[in-house]
Structure 1
Amino acid sequence: METITIALCLLVAVVVSGAISRSLPAPIPLPLVQITLGAMIGMAADLRVALEPDIFFLLFLPPLLFLDGWRIPADELMKDRATVLELALGLVVFTVVGVGFFIDWMIPAMPLAVCFALAAVVSPTDPIAVSAIAQRVPIPRRMMHVLEGESLLNDASGLVCLRFATAAALTGTFSLYDATLTFLWVAIGGLSVGVLLTWGVTRIKDWITRRIGEESGSQILVSLLIPFASYLAAEHLHCSGILAAVAAGVTMSFAEGKGTALAATRIRRNTVWDVIQITANGIIFVLLGEQLPGIVARSAETVKLTGHESAWWLVVYVLAINAALAALRFIWVWVSLRLTMFRAGRSSHSPNWRIVAAMSFAGVRGAITLAGVLTLPFAMGDGSPFPARDLAIFLAAGVIIVSLIAASIALPLLLNNLQMPAEPAHDREEDIARIHAAEAAIAEIERVQHKLAEGRKDADLYVAAASQIMELYRHRIESRNSEGEAGNALRQSERIEREMWLAAIRAERRELFRKLRRRELGSGTARKLIRELDLLETRYAD
């Protein structure tokens, strides 16, 4: 009963945090609001969540990483694949080594292996936190795609490094040869499990659908189970469950490219996954805030591990680690962009320092860092406490909060009026796609019209209906093909027509709700008609 109560309280906190964030005049990122609310709950209520690392990892990470892999635009990612790989793999190793030795120098009482574990856990970035920060000053599309691709892969590489560092702390030994072989097995095995399992499940699902039809609820449930199945299967084989979940998401995006799912299934599934994403991310940050009072309460004991008496040294360490992370990221991003320009034949150009700085501050730590640090074991193999575990958790939590605050202040300043390199416009690509789709629709209408009207006395009704629909598609083709002033006039006409449609649809819906309140319309009929209007409004509002 207590567990259910806590879960419901966390969900309420996520809802309340969203309302607070939207009502604030200043652009304070949602994760910071959730952390603050969680801390208030932890101080005011007798609510303590004992986080089991393995359960925490399994519950939150697979669906979030799966969804990131599913929704990331693969074609945009491939354009900057070299930069993404440099950031996701090279920068992680650079960060783990550099920050690991820096922490070891700064806090000699923390074992070197634990220093590397902490460095590994703060290396992954969180694009969701960056998106929340940049709501008032949107991040350029290409930069956001690079950050998204980086976060997809650096989650896995950072957590794999964490696994090696933790094992070294537990055993006291580390072999580069064994670590390399293990890394290859963990990486290749995890990717293979995610791809093969998702491919197999989608093939079986499509085979069943072709024979007995599709039921939206079951399709949605299958999509929810795939990331957990991939994660558990990979972990059972001692591979990377993180990479398996990412690979499953990417494979799902290719599998869905066949377009076999019903439209209703796609609409409902997107809604369900949006709720899961908001809920899982929100709960993670609320839990971080809820844990803060306990972490701070133990700071007096924790600071003694560092050889100091004042708890302010912990704040100094957090700021120093953030400065080291920012400096290393700035150096690596500058070198990466310089290499990108060299490959593009622009070796004489130097990267814009504002772009490099924005990319550096955009390396915000979030849910993955918290989830990773909580997986540090409580005890060593001989039963003794894991060294400096509380200190590592405190420093990781501090890095998350400081990086969020720093990015929320710096990113709007750096991105304001920033001139980014020209990006290819997608307007013409969209116009061509709409034209070809409309031409295919006209051809199909003509075919269906002849088929249905053949030999019927009321064939003129079919001709009239087909002509009316085809006229709408011809208008779309004409508006997308037109250039210059004529094309602008047609597009302006389309915008006006869309506004009229939206006004009419909303008036229809208000009238239906009025009739429903007065019991002049049955609830079943009202639900059906309102859903039709909602779908229409979604179409015209996009």
Structure 2
Amino acid sequence: METITLVLTLLVAVVASGLIARMLPFPVPRPLVQIALGAAVGLVADWRVTLDPDIFFLLFLPPLLFLDGWRIPREDLFKDGSTILELALGLVVFTVLGMGFFIHWMIPAMPLAVAFALAAVVSPTDPIAVSAIAQRTPIPKRMMHILEGESLLNDASGLVCLRFAVAAALTGAFSLGDAALNFLWVAIGGIAVGAGLTWLVGWSKAALTRRLGEESGSQILISLLIPFGAYLVAEHLHCSGILAAVAAGLTMGFVEARGNALAATRIRRTTVWDMIQFTANGTIFVLLGEQLPTILAGAADTVRVTGHHEPWWLAIYVVAINVGLAGLRFAWVWLSFRLTLLRRPESRARPNWRIIGAMSFAGVRGAITLAGVLTLPLAMKDGAPFPARDLAIFLAMGVIILSLIAASIGLPLMMRGLEMPAEPSGEAEIDAARIAAAEAAIAEIERTQHRLAEGRKDADAYVAVAARLMDVYRERIDQQTTEPEQMALLRRDQGIERELRLAALKAERGEIFRRVRDRELGSEAARKLVRELDLSETRLAV
């Protein structure tokens, strides 16, 4: 019963975080509010959640990473693939080496292998935290896609570095060749498992649907099970379950491009996934905050490991690690951008320092960092306590909170008044697709009308209805092929029409609810009518 009460309390805290974030007079990212609420829950209530890293990874990361991979624009991901790989692989290794030596130099009491382990868990950026920051800060689309792609792929490289750092701490031995081979197996195997499983499920689902028909509930449940299945199979094969979940999401985008699912399934599935994303994101940060009192309670003992007695030394170390991470990230991003420009002889532009600074501030750490540091073993092989484990956990938590605060303050300042290079709007592609779709609809209406009306006495009715529908589509084509001046007037008229239609829909909905309250209309009929109005309003809002 206590566990159920705790879960419900965490969910209430997630809901309350949104209300508090909107009530504050100054913009504060929701993750910081959620961490504060989680810390309040941990202080007020006598509850302590013991985070099992394996369970934490399994419950939260697969669905969220799967959804991010599913929804990220694949063409943008592949267009900036070289930059993303430079950040997701090269920057992680660069950060682990640089921060490992820096942390060991700054805190000699922390063994070098443990310092490398700490550097490995703070090197990957967190896709959940990046997305949460972006909700309050207007980040250019291309930059956001690079950040999302980096944070989706750098977890595997960071966790592999962590695995070998822990092995070196336990055994005192390290093999670069074994590490490289293991990384290849972990990465390639994880991607293959995720992509293969998703393709197999998609093919099987399509074959069964053609034979038996489609049931929306089952289709939605299958989409929920795919990331967990990919993660578990990959981990069983000692591959990266995180990369398997990401690859499954990317493959799901290709599978769904076939358009086999019913419209009702897509609408309901989107709603379910939006709810899961909101709930899981919030719960992760509330749990991070709930761990904070426990970590701070041991601060007095933890600081003694560093050779000091004043707790404020821990704050100095946290700030120093964040500054070091930002400096290494700034240097690597600058170098990456320079190499990208050199590969394009037609471009003589130099990297914009503010863009590089924004990319550096956007290196936010989150749940993966905390879950990774909690995987540090409790004891060595001889039974002795694992050296500086509590210190590593404290510093990792400090890095998470400070990186969120720095991004919340630094990103808006960096982005304010920054003129970004013009990005293709894609309007031409959208207009061309609308015209092609309308032409395909006209051709299909004409074919279907001839087929249905053949040999019928009321053939004229089919001809009249088909002509009316084809006129609607021809009008849509004419709207997409008008002159720019006419398009400006048309957009103005469409804006006016949209406002009038929204007002009319609101009035319709109000009248339906009034009839329900006055028992002039049944609830089932009202639900049907309201859903029709809601779908119409959703189309206008897009």
TM-score tier, shorter chain, comes to: over 0.9
Q: Any idea what SS the aligned residue of 1:258 has?
A: coil
2: CA distance, partners of 1:129 / 1:24:
20
Task: Report deviation, 1:231.
Answer: 0.9
Structure 1 contact 479–491 (Cα < 8 Å) conserved: no
Q: 1:126 Cα deviation (Å)? A: 2.5
SS at structure 1 position matched to 2:257:
helix
Structure 1 residue 452, shift from structure 2 partner: 2.2
Whether the 8 Å CA contact 1:281–1:367 is kept in 2: the answer is: no
Deviations 1:256-295 (A, max 9, x none): 1111011111111111111111111111110111111111
Q: CA deviation at 1:338?
A: 0.8
Say whether the 8 Å CA contact 2:191–2:244 is kept in structure 1. Answer: yes
The residue type paired with residue 373 of structure 2 is V
Counterparts of 1:294-309 in structure 2, within 5 Å, are 294-309=294-309
Write the letter of the residue equivalent to 2:530.
I
Residues in 1 aligned to 2:135 and 2:239: alpha-carbon distance in whole angstroms = 37
Aligned to 2:368: 368
2:299–2:311: 8 Å Cα contact kept in structure 1?
yes
Which residue in 2 is equivalent to 1:350? 350
Displacement, 1:136? 4.5
Contact 1:28 1:133 in 2 (8 A): no
How far off is 1:351 after superposition?
Answer: 0.9
Alpha-carbon distance in 2 for matches of 1:257, 1:55: 32
Rounded to whole Å, the distance in 1 between the matches of 2:59 and 2:379 is 22
Amino acid of the residue matched to residue 110 of structure 1?
Answer: M
- State the alpha-carbon separation in 1 of the partners of residues 415 and 79 from structure 2: 22
Worse-superposed segment, 115-124 or 309-318: 115-124
Q: Could you tell which deviates more after superposition, 318-327 or 99-108?
A: 99-108
Where does 1:143-182 land on structure 2 (aligned, <5 Å)?
Answer: 143-182=143-182
Cα distance in structure 2, aligned partners of 1:136 and 1:250: 26
What is the CA–CA distance in structure 1 between the aligned matches of 2:253 and 2:383, rounded to whole Å?
45
Q: Which moves more between the two structures, 508-517 or 313-322?
A: 508-517
Which secondary structure does the structure 2 equivalent of 1:417 belong to?
Answer: coil
Distance 1:523 1:353 in 2: 60
Is the partner of 2:489 in helix, strand or coil? helix
Match of 1:66 in 2: 66
TM-score, length-normalised on structure 1? 0.97
Once the two structures are TM-superposed, the CA of residue 347 in structure 1 deviates from its matched residue by: 6.4
Deviations 1:406-460 (A, max 9, x none): 1111111110121112222211111111111111111111222222222333333
Where does 1:152-231 land on structure 2 (aligned, <5 Å)? 152-231=152-231
Q: Is the 8 A contact 1:57 1:372 kept in 2?
A: no
**Paired residue secondary structure (2:260):** coil
1:130 CA displacement = 3.3
**Aligned residue type for 2:509:** R
Q: Which residue of 2 aligns with 1:540?
A: 540
In 1, Cα distance between the equivalents of 2:347 and 2:446?
56
User: What displacement does 1:490 show?
Assistant: 2.3
Q: C-alpha displacement at 1:493, in angstroms?
A: 2.5
Matched residue type, 1:176: L
Give the distance between the partners of 1:137 and 1:56, measured in 2 at CA.
Answer: 28
Contact 1:134 1:411 in 2 (8 A): no
- Rounded to whole Å, the distance in 2 between the matches of 1:418 and 1:477 is 37
Deviates more, 1:314-323 or 1:392-401: 392-401
Say whether the 8 Å CA contact 2:113–2:165 is kept in structure 1.
Answer: yes
Residue 31 of structure 2 contacts residue 282 of structure 2 at CA under 8 Å; is this kept in 1? yes
CA displacement 1:283-338 (0-9 Å, x = unmatched) = 11101111111111100000011000011000000000000000000000111111
Give the whole-Å Cα distance in 2 for the aligned partners of 1:479 and 1:315: 61
How far, CA to CA, are the matches of 1:303 and 1:41 in structure 2? 25
Check the 8 A contact 1:62/1:245 in 2, yes or no.
Answer: yes
Report the Cα distance in structure 2 between the residues aligned to 1:277 and 1:168, rounded to whole angstroms: 37
Tell me the residue number matched to 2:393.
Answer: 393
Instruction: Say if 1:53 and 1:376, in contact at 8 Å, map to a contact too.
Output: no
Q: What amino acid is aligned across from residue 286 of structure 1 in structure 2? A: V
Q: What is the CA–CA distance in structure 1 between the aligned matches of 2:414 and 2:244, rounded to whole Å?
A: 36
Q: 1:352 to 1:250 in 2, by over 3 A?
A: same
Structure-1 separation of matches of 2:19 and 2:90? 39
1:241 partnered with 2:238: no
Q: Distance in 1 between matches of 2:420 and 2:490?
A: 31
Q: Distance in 1 between matches of 2:263 and 2:415?
A: 38
Match of 2:516 in 1: 516
Moved over 4 A (4+): none
Q: 1: CA distance between counterparts of 2:166 and 2:265?
A: 43
Change (3 A) 1:81 1:413: same
Question: In 2, Cα distance between the equivalents of 1:135 and 1:3?
Answer: 31
CA RMSD of aligned residues (A): 1.5
For the residue of structure 1 that corresponds to 2:75, the secondary structure is helix
- 2: CA distance, partners of 1:208 / 1:387: 55
Q: Which residue pairs with 1:422 in the alignment?
A: 422
CA distance in 1, matches of 2:438, 2:367: 43
Structure 1 residue 383, shift from structure 2 partner: 3.5
Give the CA deviation at 1:469: 2.1
Task: Give the stretch that moved more between structures: 124-133 or 236-245.
Answer: 124-133
User: Is contact 1:505–1:537 with CA below 8 Å preserved after alignment?
Assistant: yes
**1:185-231 deviations in Å (ceiling 9; x for gaps):** 11111111111111111111111111101111111111111111111
In the TM superposition, residue 64 of structure 1 has moved relative to its aligned partner by: 1.3
Instruction: Give the deviation of 1:21 after TM superposition.
Output: 1.2
Q: SS at the partner of 1:536? A: helix
- Percent identity, aligned pairs only, is 73
Deviations 1:14-41 (CA, angstroms, capped at 9, x unpaired): 1111111122221100100000011111
Which residues of structure 2 form unaligned runs of 5+?
none
- Counterpart CA distance in 2 for 1:47 and 1:385 is 26
Counterpart Cα distance in 2 of 1:245 and 1:383: 35
Hey, what does 1:14 align to over in structure 2?
14
Alignment gaps of 5+ in structure 1: none
Q: Is the 8 A contact 1:303 1:311 kept in 2?
A: yes
Classify 1:127/1:185 alpha carbon distance in 2 versus 1 (closer, same or farther; 3 Å): closer
In structure 1, C-alpha distance between the alignment counterparts of 2:360 and 2:496, rounded to whole Å: 42
Q: Is the 8 A contact 1:194 1:247 kept in 2?
A: yes
How many residue pairs match? The answer is: 542
More moved, 322-331 vs 361-370: 361-370
459-468 or 228-237, which moves further after superposition? 459-468
SS of 1:238's partner is: coil
The aligned residue for residue 379 of structure 1 is 379
Cα distance change of structure 1 residues 347 and 209 upon mapping to structure 2, 3 Å threshold: closer
